[in-house]
Amino acid sequence: MAGRMTRAAGLSAALLTGAAQAATVTFQTSEPSGRALDSVVVTLLPVARGALPPPRPASIEQVRKTFVPLVSVVQTGAAVEFPNNDTVRHHVYSFSASKVFELKLYAGTPARPVVFDKPGVVVLGCNIHDRMLAYIMVADTPWFAVSGDDGTAKVADLPPGDYLLQAWHPRRLGMPDLPPRPIRVSADMTEPVTVDLKP
């Protein structure tokens, strides 16, 4: 009994130590002029590829003939729900190389979520309402964020280590990817991210 208690205490201490080591990285995203930039996707891909946490499910709603949120990021393999909260039916689709799918005219929530099993950018549309548009970045990592109106994006619970930082913005669609840059995480930190929206 005493041995089991000692092992349990040791496991608890290890878990607490691991939790204490996890860091939060705050990204300040901006254009080259210094103006804060919203809707920037930042992803952190671990250099040492070990076992990753399983992908978390996500939801992209349809509200007042608009996709909410406009920009999402999910881990490869994530299941995404597309609830229709409008009083009209929608026909959600994508012809993107990373995911081709259709949810034909429907109200409410489709019976099955859509699984995004290939990394890359997915552009969403509605066959009925042409102005409806949204973007999903599918990334091979569980550590990511999207910047808000003030240009801030936070990635929490990040294990210490070496990562490749990648940034993307919807206005760069069709443009070459920005080069990833290495970043070493050992404690809470703030990192600037500059995104040029011009070709």
Q: Which domains does the chain have, with CATH numbers?
A: 22-52+141-199 (2.60.40.1120), 54-140 (2.60.40.420)
- pLDDT at residue 153, rounded to an integer: 98
For 158-195, the pLDDT digits (tens) are 999 999 999 999 999 999 999 999 999 999 999 999 99
With a cut of 60, say whether residue 10 has pLDDT above it: no
Q: Per-residue pLDDT averaged across 59-65, rounded?
A: 97
Tally the C-alpha atoms within 13 A of residue 65's C-alpha that lie toward its C-beta.
Answer: 7
For residues 14 and 64, which has the higher predicted lDDT (pLDDT)? 64
Note the pLDDT tens digit of each residue in 78-125. Answer: 999 999 999 999 999 999 999 999 999 999 999 999 999 999 999 999
| Residue 142 banded pLDDT, cuts 50, 70, 90 | very high
SS3 assignment for 35-82: CECCCCEEEEEECCCCCCCCCCCEECEEECCEEECCEEEEECCEEEEC
1 burial class (0-12, 13-18, 19+ CB within 10 angstroms)? exposed
β-bridge mates for residue 28, sequence order: 152, 192
Instruction: Provide the pLDDT for residue 16.
Output: 41
**Per-residue pLDDT tens over the stretch 146-156:** 999 999 999 99
Q: What is the pTM of this model?
A: 0.87
Residue 14's pLDDT band, with cuts at 50, 70 and 90, is very low
CA distances for 12 relative to 6, 16, 36, 186, angstroms? 10, 6, 42, 22
Q: Would you place residue 51 in the very low, low, confident or very high pLDDT band (cuts 50, 70, 90)?
A: confident
Burial track 100-125 (b if 16+ CB lie within 10 A, e otherwise): ebebeebeeeeeeebbbeebebbbbb
Question: Regarding predicted confidence, which is higher, 83 or 20?
Answer: 83
Share of the chain above pLDDT 90, in %: 86
Q: What is the structure's pLDDT at 50?
A: 82
Q: What is the pLDDT of residue 1?
A: 47
- C-alpha distances (whole Å) from 131 to each of 72, 127, 184 are 18, 10, 41
Indicate the residue type of 46: P
Task: Give pLDDT, residue 6.
Answer: 39
Mean pLDDT, residues 3-7: 42
Q: What is the distance between the alpha carbons of residues 18 and 20, in angstroms, rounded to a whole number?
A: 5
| 3 has pLDDT over 80 | no
Query: What is the C-alpha separation between 25 and 181, in angstroms, rounded?
Result: 15
Mean pLDDT of the chain: 91
Residue 110: both structure tokens together = 């489709």
